[in-house]
Amino acid sequence: MGHRRGVGDSAINGKTWNEAEHDMVVGDYLVMLDKVMTGRAYDPANHQRALRFVTNRSGGAITFLQGEISAILTLIGLPILKDHPPRWDFGDALVDAVDRCLTAKPGALKDLAQPPVLLGRALAPVLAEGAPSRAHHVPPSARAERLVAKFDPAARDLEARMLARIGVASALIYEQRRLEERGRQDLAAEVRLALPADDEGCDLISFSRTGGPRRIAVKTTTGGPATPFRLTPVEEALREAQPGAFIVYRLYDVAREARVFRVRAQPAVQASPDQPSMSQPSAILPE
């Protein structure tokens, strides 16, 4: 995953964004995102007018930049504003602005990665079918790679135990429903959490609709479908030992739409020693 240095570093009239302007737009984006994630009302038009006034930029230029912010936040595993889908031609100056804003407000980073509203739910989110990101990008710049390494969404999600428990609970219900919808109520009744006596490296014990074994590892994030994830050593070992049974359930955007897609094959891409390994899902598992 990466970006191309392009028009995103400039306004439509060709005037380059400066550091202060970048910081204002990123800061305003995070304010709006915090309101979305906490269920508070806000008026995007008012935010847009204010940004146009303080930056002297067109609405189109600001919207373009907001899409680039969405792409950077996706890389580091955070939710995004749905009205601003990722634009992957961001430049390093905008990466620096995102870094400054998130570093200055570590509490905001934590609340976006694990929203209190999600952790306070009594019931696990109901999952809907999703799909991995199909976007193709040129290799990321060294600066973008350093940002991903700094905030390391794969490690952060692995360490978020409450988020993981929510994801496993949701995946269990989803898997049972999948089999029931295929007329296999008998198998649905046998789906369960993995126990210490089971194969290490999976969260759920399940079956294909023909009764074949499934060993499911659940990977959960509040970020989008392109957010990197990584397998643990025991998961890698199980994948190697039982490639036909091992499956990853990738849960994303769990604080809002709560979607899932399935990955068979190797999700981890080897990285250099000073950078985190990142995944790019290879395919949706055919049912």
pLDDT at 192: 96
**85 Cβ neighbours under 8 A, 6+ residues apart:** 67, 70
Would you give per-residue pLDDT tens digits along the chain (287 residues)? 444 444 444 444 456 899 999 999 999 999 999 999 888 898 999 999 999 999 999 999 999 999 999 999 999 999 999 999 999 989 999 999 999 999 998 888 888 888 877 766 767 889 999 888 766 555 678 999 999 999 999 888 888 888 899 999 999 999 999 999 999 999 999 999 999 888 899 999 999 999 999 999 999 999 999 888 999 999 999 999 999 999 999 999 998 889 999 997 554 443 333 333 334 443 333 33
For residue 118, the surrounding DSSP H or E stretch is: helix 116-119
- Domain of residue 17 covers 1-112
pLDDT at 268: 43
pTM greater than the 0.85 cutoff: no
Give yes or no: residues 178 and 40 share one domain: no
From 112, 144, 169, the end of a domain falls on 112
Give yes or no: residues 121 and 5 share one domain: no
Give yes or no: residues 124 and 193 share one domain: yes
Give yes or no: residues 90 and 124 share one domain: no
Give yes or no: residues 102 and 126 share one domain: no
Give yes or no: residues 97 and 171 share one domain: no
Dump the DSSP string for 47-70.
Answer: HHHHHHHHH---HHHHHHHHHHHH
Give yes or no: residues 96 and 149 share one domain: no
Give yes or no: residues 90 and 118 share one domain: no
Give yes or no: residues 101 and 139 share one domain: no
Distance CA 236, CA 242 (A): 10
The domain tally of the chain equals: 2
Give yes or no: residues 136 and 27 share one domain: no
Residues in the chain: 287
Give yes or no: residues 97 and 225 share one domain: no
CB-based contact 176:188 (threshold 8 Å): yes
Strands 278-279 and 268-269: antiparallel
From 69, 85, 112, the end of a domain falls on 112
Give yes or no: residues 153 and 186 share one domain: yes
pLDDT at 114: 82
From 57, 83, 112, the end of a domain falls on 112
